Structure 1
Amino acid sequence: MTLTASTLPAIEVDPRRHFRNVLGHLPTGVAVVATSGPDGPIGMAVNSITSVSLDPPLISICIARTSSTWPRIRSMGRFCISILAEHHEQTSRRFAGPDPDRFAGASWRSQSGGPALDDAVAWLDCDVYAEYAAGDHTIVVAQVRDLGSTDDGRALVFFRGSYGTFAPHEQI
């Protein structure tokens, strides 16, 4: 018997899982968003950071509406984004997990917006500018107040459910 589309059994596809799998083909950077709270540093991992505007300098991040960390960061009005380096996979996992002491073992310095990881490839000090409800996430727009980067090191990248890194082609 030859199988054709009409003789194959129907396979249910979870539309959310399919959406996530397809968009997983877009590599994203990995970062930590952090602020200094009354009881110490507060932070969380994010992988959706986008440049929004040059004048004024704005970026956006997307936060799950179920996040219990974001309301605590938002209440401070400022935060620092650390763009993670290739060796930060475990740091990313820790900041994405439920452990409340996410800064344990992390080496960081205080920026005006909050803690910045010492060996991140870049950092941005930000003020909350606006928030927009978007499905099961909140789009946070932030105004960049200060920023810096290093010329060495490679950024941590998330692609198709796995961590990796990016190395640019050699310039000709």
Structure 2
Amino acid sequence: MIDLQPVTSESHLREAFGCFPSGVTAVCALVEGVPRGMAASSFTSVSLAPPLVSLCIQRTSSTWPLLRDRPRLGLSVLAEGQDAACLRLSSRHGDRFRDVEWEPGPDDSVFISGSSAWLECSLHDEVPAGDHLIALLEIHRLRTAETPPLVFHGSRFRRLAAA
């Protein structure tokens, strides 16, 4: 029988969460003509009909309130080698878009150049979940590239290995 232990701290829980690899996304839009956005590794496909994805966003985020009411959001699935862009987009201070190549999309959406996929979305619903919000985003248009995704696992960026 597996010897399971109680959750004793947030770091203990983070260690367990870090055992599961995840892709990294950026959700971005123009706000008063200025690109705003953030990195999110809690991206999940949800539904094909209607086409929905989800992101988990900390309730303390100062960026999400700027993005949630935009007509369109650009969701970029970051690609292998975009580690620096991810770190910039997840920083708490300074210009997150400094040295990050981006392209404008329809209705003020913003996409990160060179990503693995781009999804033009709008907020479908938002669900409270502990210290986070689950944002359900409806996909309106998309494009994919044959570029391997950026993978986050064990608190580090990783690369997929060919089988």
Q: Provide TM-score, normalisation by structure 2.
A: 0.90
RMSD of aligned Cα (Å): 1.6
Deviations 1:121-148 (A, max 9, x none): 1110101000010000000001000111
Structure 1 Cα separation of the partners of residues 72 and 9 of structure 2: 36
**Offset of 1:54 from its aligned partner?**
0.4
Question: Structure 1 residue 75 and structure 2 residue 66: aligned?
Answer: no
**Offset of 1:39 from its aligned partner?**
3.9
Q: Secondary structure at the match of 2:19?
A: coil
Match of 2:95 among 72, 76, 101: 101
Verify the 8 A CA contact 2:70 2:122 in the aligned structure 1: no
Structure 2 Cα separation of the partners of residues 143 and 130 of structure 1: 9
Structure 2 Cα separation of the partners of residues 86 and 115 of structure 1: 19
Percent sequence identity over matched residues? 37
**Offset of 1:168 from its aligned partner?**
4.1
Q: Provide TM-score, normalisation by structure 1.
A: 0.86
Give 4+ residue runs of structure 1 displaced > 4 Å after superposition.
none
What does residue 3 of structure 1 align with? none
Question: Structure 1 residue 17 and structure 2 residue 21: aligned?
Answer: no
Q: How does 1:1-172 map to 2 (within 5 A)?
A: 14-112=8-106, 114-151=109-146, 153-169=147-163
Between the two proteins, the alignment pairs up a number of residues equal to: 157
**Offset of 1:100 from its aligned partner?**
4.0
Structure 2 Cα separation of the partners of residues 132 and 23 of structure 1: 21
Question: Unpaired segments of 5 or more residues in structure 1?
Answer: 1-12
